């Protein structure tokens, strides 16, 4: 038995993985504690999506490298060499080997360092969980079908591996029996769910909504590349009252030129049509989108188009990412914009959206 502190960074799927890790360790008689300094073993569940988050992970690794340390999450797969250099005594357990977390803890307690790395299909549905009562997530897949030139996550998680509709429905029923009423549907990209199983997201949502009980489902991020292909079916699925009227479609740029250079397979016209159709059908829907400020090939004109797009569609939530080159990605090899330009464009977008929100709130 060990006292284990788990530090988590990143997306809802990562948060859910941490709930699973805690569940597995709890089932094996380990204790989950909050104080890392007092812990026998520290587990860092890492994220590589944004440079600022990755830097926080690296700082945490350096801080705890002299303790018994396990690094899991995406960085344990995509940046193994770096982690082995800065924390040579740490064990690595990537997202494809979550079920090995207890073995890794026991290994460190016996002064053994383990490396559970490499891609494989591992079904995490049905595994024990220590639930965060405020955020209950149901993972429907791992990986994605896209190859965005700025994204390190694809390098860590690989091609989409979807769970079957039956497995997901069974997991939903397990949550409901435990008393949970609001469930977040999550994955690397919900939009590509089922492309490896000859099904798709709208069909899954209809199957889940048909499960007996009083509950609601909030569907997480979907790449517009996929949404445009099943737009009618997705709108139809959203008509069920169990589906929360919440749509997260990251546009990333208002310039078709930049989207092409990012290797995002949709146009601004496609994105606008998605937003238009959903708002026409659901008057009170929340529209969430993401933009990247300062992509290497983004000109002043490209950036102006992003600003204009946000002013036009007026999203309810705007997630703004300051571009940072991620190791191993195509965009990292491009000539980068100056830090000053990236910061200034981030500031302009942030202040502009604050004004939009203020105007909206004032009627």
Answer yes or no: is pLDDT of 78 > 80.
Answer: yes
Same fold flag, 3-116 and 137-361: no
Q: How far is CA 62 from CA 85, 104, 218, in A?
A: 10, 19, 36
Q: How far is CA 296 from CA 120, 148, 177, 305, 344, in A?
A: 33, 14, 49, 16, 14
Rounded to whole angstroms, the Cα distance separating 315 from 357 reads 9
pLDDT digits (tens, 9 = 90+) for 295-346: 999 999 999 999 999 999 999 999 999 999 999 999 999 999 999 999 999 9
Listed by start position, the domains of the chain span: 3-116, 137-361
Answer yes or no: is pLDDT of 131 > 90.
Answer: no
Structure tokens at 316: 């309810």
CB atoms within 10 A of CB 320: 18
Structure tokens at 211: 């499960």
**Of 170, 286, 270, 168, nearest to 225 (Cα)?**
270
Rounded to whole angstroms, the Cα distance separating 129 from 24 reads 7
CATH superfamily of 137-361: tm_1862 like domain (3.80.30.20)
Helix (H) or strand (E) holding 6: strand 3-8
Rounded to whole angstroms, the Cα distance separating 66 from 142 reads 32
pLDDT digits (tens, 9 = 90+) for 59-71: 999 999 999 999 9
pLDDT digits (tens, 9 = 90+) for 154-192: 888 999 999 999 999 999 999 999 999 999 999 999 999
According to DSSP, residue 214 is labeled S
Question: At 134, is the pLDDT very low, low, confident or very high (cuts 50, 70, 90)?
Answer: low
Hey, what CATH topology would domain 3-116 get?
Rossmann fold (3.40.50)
Rounded to whole angstroms, the Cα distance separating 131 from 181 reads 13
* Share of residues in the chain with pLDDT > 90 (%): 91
pLDDT digits (tens, 9 = 90+) for 26-47: 999 999 999 999 999 999 999 9
């Amino acid at each position: 038995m060990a006292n284990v502190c788990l530090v988590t960074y990143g997306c809802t799927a990562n948060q859910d993985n941490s709930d699973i890790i805690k569940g597995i360790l709890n089932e094996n008689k380990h204790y989950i504690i909050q104080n890392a300094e007092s812990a026998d073993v520290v587990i860092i569940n890492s994220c590589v999506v944004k440079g600022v988050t990755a830097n926080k992970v690296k700082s945490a690794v350096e801080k705890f490298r002299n303790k018994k340390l396990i690094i899991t999450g995406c960085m344990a797969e995509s940046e193994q060499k770096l982690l082995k250099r800065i924390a040579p005594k740490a064990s690595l357990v990537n997202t494809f080997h979550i079920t090995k977390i207890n073995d890794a803890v026991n290994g460190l307690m016996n002064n053994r360092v383990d490396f559970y790395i490499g891609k494989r299909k591992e079904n995490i549905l049905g595994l024990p969980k220590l639930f965060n009562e405020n955020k209950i997530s149901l993972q429907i897949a791992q990986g994605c079908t896209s190859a965005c030139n700025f994204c390190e996550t694809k390098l860590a998680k690989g091609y989409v591996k979807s769970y079957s509709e039956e497995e997901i429905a069974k997991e939903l029923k397990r949550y409901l029996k435990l008393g949970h009423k609001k469930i977040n549907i999550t994955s690397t990209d919900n939009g590509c769910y089922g492309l490896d199983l000859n099904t798709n997201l709208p069909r899954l949502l209809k199957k889940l909504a048909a499960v007996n009980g009083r509950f609601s489902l909030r569907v997480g991020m979907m790449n517009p590349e996929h949404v445009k292909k099943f737009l009618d079916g997705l709108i139809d699925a959203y008509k069920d009252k169990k589906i929360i009227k919440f749509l997260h479609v990251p546009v990333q740029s208002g310039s078709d030129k930049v989207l092409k250079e990012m290797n995002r397979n949709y146009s601004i016209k496609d994105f606008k049509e998605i937003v238009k159709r959903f708002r026409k059908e659901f008057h009170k829907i929340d529209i969430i989108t993401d933009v990247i400020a300062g992509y290497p090939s983004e000109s002043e004109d490209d950036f102006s188009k992003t600003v204009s797009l946000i002013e036009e569609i007026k999203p309810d939530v705007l997630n703004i990412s300051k571009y940072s080159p991620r190791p191993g990605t195509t965009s990292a090899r491009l000539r980068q914009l100056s830090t000053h330009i990236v910061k200034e464009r981030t500031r302009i977008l942030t202040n502009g959206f604050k004004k939009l929100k203020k105007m909206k709130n004032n009627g």
